[in-house]
Amino acid sequence: MATTTAIDKFVELEDRIARTIELVKETRKEKAAVEKELAAAKRNLDRLELEVEDLKQERDVIKNRVEALLDKLLEVTEESVV
């Protein structure tokens, strides 16, 4: 009976090792998927940062043009008052 107990414990140990191996495999797959997702998110972030910079530049150009138009309007209104 002591032999059966030792064999049962060994079988239980084998089962635990097998479950651990499967868990490690699954964890590696999940890690690879997360790393792929992270890389995609970083690429998207880089693209969005470039887009924000482009929009800021466009905003500055428009702001300068509006200010120039307002200055011209101010000149016209000042000339008509005089």
Environment class of residue 9 by beta-carbon count within 10 Å: exposed (0-12), middle (13-18) or buried (19+)? exposed
The answer to whether residue 8 scores a pLDDT higher than 90 is: yes
Confidence at residue 26, expressed as pLDDT on a 0 to 100 scale:
98
Q: What is the mean pLDDT of residues 6-29?
A: 97
Confidence at residue 61, expressed as pLDDT on a 0 to 100 scale:
98
Please report which confidence band the pLDDT of residue 4 belongs to, taking 50, 70 and 90 as the band edges: confident
Q: How far apart are the first and last CA of the chain?
A: 117
Q: What is the mean pLDDT of residues 49-66?
A: 98
